[in-house]
Structure 1
Amino acid sequence: MIKAVIFDMDGLMFDTERLMMLAWDYAGEKMGLGKTGHMVLKTLGMNRILSREVWKEEYGEVFKAEELDLYTNEFFEHYYSENDVPVKTGLYELLSYLREHHYKIGAASSTYIEKVKHHLNNAKILEYFDVVVGGDMVEKSKPDPQIYQKASELLGVKPDSCYALEDSRNGLLAAYRAGCKPIMIPDLWQPDEEISRILYAKRNNLSEVIDILKDNHNNNC
């Protein structure tokens, strides 16, 4: 029986992956590399450290992590001075349903915990979460299962009693390897044959997860 739902953040709760593509296009041009937004697709679900390794493989010695951070932050400081974090369809509806029906709720994001909590607070949903785990709270990045193992442990729920909501290959693999039931809500990437085999379900948006929860409840009554 499902007792908890664990959310990824970027591309799942918030439309931040597309924003990151714009930010990295901006940063790439500032660094003299041209538009580099495509690197988002190569680093989906990765933490900061692993992501930087992929950048180094792509651009070699001309890539400077400190410059990327500088210009990425510059882009986001300007964006968030005028805009709130963009919320994905169905997020508020799903969170309300989970609270009403007494599910435990967790977040497991490769993004550093400070930024995760900032975004959740900005969207006025931080209070919904019993547990928030950021990428800097575990040693290994997705697709390693460690972050989902930690989230389920802190929730006090076995992984096989958790739905894990994800949009990326690395995130889905992490959830599956931890023993959670991975549900995919596609964002920038559609599942290949390997990922399709490990999915518990796939839905178009977060509100559609409610029907899965209702079916789970009815089957266990």
Structure 2
Amino acid sequence: MDGLMFDTEKVFIMAWDYAGEKIGIGKAGYMVYKTLGMNIVSSYNVWKEEFGDRYNQEELRKYTKEFLQKYYSENTVPVKKGLYNLLNYLKENSCKMAVASSSPRWEVEKHLKDANIYEYFIWIVCGDMVQNSKPDPEIYLKACELLKANQSECYALEDSKNGLLSAYRAGCKPIMVPDLWQPDDEILNVIVGKYEDLDEVKAAFENIDV
């Protein structure tokens, strides 16, 4: 969801800049790049490696949520180019869709409902519904199971390395739409396609039997 359907990664940069200054470690928005695709628990492990005892996890969570709730009460997050076109095309072609996001459920549901796309998805699997964070395949295995779909028949759209590896390790077909990060050689060897936006993904699907 983040960085693929919605331009939320930039909001998290602002949130962690705000929270970092509040807890005395300075602007920490750059940590978004180090935790792309991870759930909250795994991302905090990376924070621990970066800052050690210089930060308090509960305070970080408190001020991050404080910023996000205020921001989202005053703003809607912009959708990524081609989102509605792609979703409508897939719906018209009776494709079963699920969201597999590392973000907490309250945030995922808010964004989907604000953008009026909640009803497109049969299932929503969030970071607080699985034990292991991306790049572990658990979240995609769960999504495929709920969809009653064979992983090898599922396409997974992602923007982060952790997300793409998670989908690949689950046996899905990963498609990359870059946001803040460009693919390295490892990712180029596992993805089935790379497109600049979701309109390009739609055009690609139109040329294959989805």
Larger mean Cα displacement after TM superposition, 51-60 or 65-74: 65-74
1:177 counterpart = 2:169: yes
1:68 counterpart = 2:60: yes
2:97 to 84, 105, 108: 105
Per the alignment, residue 36 of structure 1 pairs with 28
Per the alignment, residue 191 of structure 1 pairs with 183
Per the alignment, residue 203 of structure 1 pairs with 195
Deviation at 1:78, TM superposition (A): 2.3
1:14 to 6, 31, 43: 6
In 2, distance between residues paired with 1:56 and 1:184? 29
RMSD (Å), alpha carbons: 1.1
Gaps of 5+ in 2: none
| SS at 2:10 equivalent | helix
Aligned AA (1:84): T
Deviation at 1:208, TM superposition (A): 1.1
In 1, distance between residues paired with 2:74 and 2:104? 23
Per the alignment, residue 79 of structure 2 pairs with 87
2:133 to 134, 141, 159: 141
Q: Deviation per CA, 1:14-33: give whole Å up to 9, x if none.
A: 11111100111111111111
Deviation at 1:48, TM superposition (A): 0.6
Deviation at 1:114, TM superposition (A): 2.4
2:151 to 154, 159, 168: 159
Structure-to-structure mapping, 1:206-221, within 5 angstroms: 206-217=198-209
2:37 to 31, 45, 53: 45
In 1, distance between residues paired with 2:38 and 2:127? 9
Aligned AA (1:25): D
In 2, distance between residues paired with 1:149 and 1:212? 24
Give the TM-score of the pair, scaled to structure 2. Answer: 0.97
| SS at 1:132 equivalent | strand
Identity across matched positions, percent: 59
Q: 1:43 to 1:13 in 2, by over 3 A?
A: same
Deviation at 1:144, TM superposition (A): 0.5
Deviation at 1:118, TM superposition (A): 1.7
Q: Deviation per CA, 1:123-173: give whole Å up to 9, x if none.
A: 111000011101111111100001101101111110111110000000000
Larger mean Cα displacement after TM superposition, 79-88 or 43-52: 79-88
| SS at 1:107 equivalent | strand
In 1, distance between residues paired with 2:106 and 2:98? 15
In 1, distance between residues paired with 2:207 and 2:69? 43
Q: Deviation per CA, 1:92-123: give whole Å up to 9, x if none.
A: 11101111111111100011222211211111
